[in-house]
Amino acid sequence: MPDLEPLSRDELIALLVGLYARVEELSAENAELRAALEAKGGGNPGGPRTTPKWVKPNRPVRDDAEGPKPRKKRAENRARKLSEPTETVIHRLDRCPDCGHKLPGGTLHRVREVIDLPAPHHIVRHHLIYRVRCGVCGRDCVAQPDLSDEVVGRHRVGRRAMSVVASLRTQCRVPLRTIQQVLAGLYGLKLSQGELSGLLADVADRGQKTYEAYREEMRSSAVVHADETGWREDGRNGYVWSFSTDHTRWFVRDPSRSSAVPLAILGGGPRRAVVCDFYAGYGPLPGVKQRCWVHLLRDLKELEESHPGDVAVAQWRAQIRDLYGRAKAYQEEHAAMELPIPMRVLNDRPRVRRQFERALMKLARPHLGRKRDPCRVLAERIRKFLQELFVFVEHPEVPSENNAAEQAIRPLATARKVFGGTRSPRGSKTLAILQTLFGTWSLRGLDPLEACMAMLASS
């Protein structure tokens, strides 16, 4: 800092005037920068902060004056109930800890429940098969034990162990190396990855008939949900196709994503409704198609989020959502009707469907052919698939969304992140069969482990 003592009074005044002028210049420059930042959509230090769209909003804080949140009243007691005991231990004092007097009888004061797991272990059972020579005819007689209630074929691993491995691989989506570690750490059972892979393939082979039977059940259904997701095989891209009904989930892996795959799987067959997304590969399928409204509404939401402050876009989205809400209300009202449905109602449904289609097209038409219109792409989609958006109005038994297929294929999307894919056509076939079997058993409320053991026992 320079020495200010030699400066005169006039020089000091001039220095202060210069400093004030510099402060004013910096203030003006700061204001310009702030205005430019606000014009670019940046945060304003003097105003409200802008939060990225991926940040979840905080839960509102309750005012202390409001007191604790009132507890919801329930019709019945939902407290956790004690489990059925497998072992009972009695704790009762024989003598008073103060005076040592003997304590007779007593009443139950409370129950302390402890749940634990027994130390697991695997069983190795050697079946000793003897050969005995007949002293009369000289024939060597060898026992032929029936081990079908323990093992499958010539495997050394029992049915339950095979089912556990298949369940860990399919339901829990555990890699083979981790299955090795689990079996060795918990049960002391050491199996190679090759043997584990062979066990899974054999379970799939023995479930082939059930797999084909589920396919026929799926094909005969009046409503089928379809979807597909990427799945690599030996480093090459491909797809797992999912076809679901209310009671069946069926999967197949194919290198192609063309319409030939669903055509070959579903075939001609009876007239059915296929619920799917807007992928064009489902277009050639016979029967009616119901395109998923959840996909359309999700894209409408993303459109509005990408154009914040655009009143026209927000209004357009709100109008389409309102139209869909009225269509869903009509579907729910007619789905709840008791059978038989009056003929006048059946004849009226196609007319109402056409009304909704005309109303939706009226909303989409002003945005068609306008290159700079942000709503143009979705408006073009509405025009292309207009005849496949309100099938659920004419046929209330058909869902308006493809949630069943999304839920069915989600475990595979998770497994893809864990496994990365399969290594051979045999592995892909095993994957599809096991996903079909375990997915269908779970959908039907069966215990997949017990169902797998029962299937192996009957194969």
**Confidence band, pLDDT 50/70/90 cuts, at residue 63:** low
pLDDT tens for each residue of 122-179: 788 888 888 888 888 888 888 888 777 777 877 788 888 999 999 999 999 999 999 9
Distance CA 322, CA 73 (A): 34
Distance CA 35, CA 31 (A): 6
Q: Looking at residues 203-225, what average pLDDT do you find?
A: 94
Write out the two tokens for 120. 């697991």
Distance CA 304, CA 155 (A): 59
pLDDT tens for each residue of 92-123: 888 888 888 888 888 888 888 888 777 777 78
For residue 340, say if its preceding peptide bond is cis, omega within 30 degrees of 0: yes
Distance CA 456, CA 149 (A): 10
pLDDT tens for each residue of 375-417: 999 999 999 999 999 999 999 999 999 999 999 999 999 999 8
Distance CA 442, CA 98 (A): 58
Domain boundaries, the chain: 293-394
pLDDT tens for each residue of 15-61: 787 888 888 888 888 888 887 777 665 555 555 566 666 677 777 76
Distance CA 127, CA 147 (A): 9
> What Å distances lie between residue 270 and 174, 221, 287, 309, CA to CA?
39, 9, 8, 49
pTM for the model: 0.74
Contact (CB, 8 A) for 272 and 287: yes
Instruction: Answer whether residue 451 shows pLDDT above 70.
Output: yes
Distance CA 42, CA 35 (A): 10
Residue 92 is predicted with a pLDDT of 86
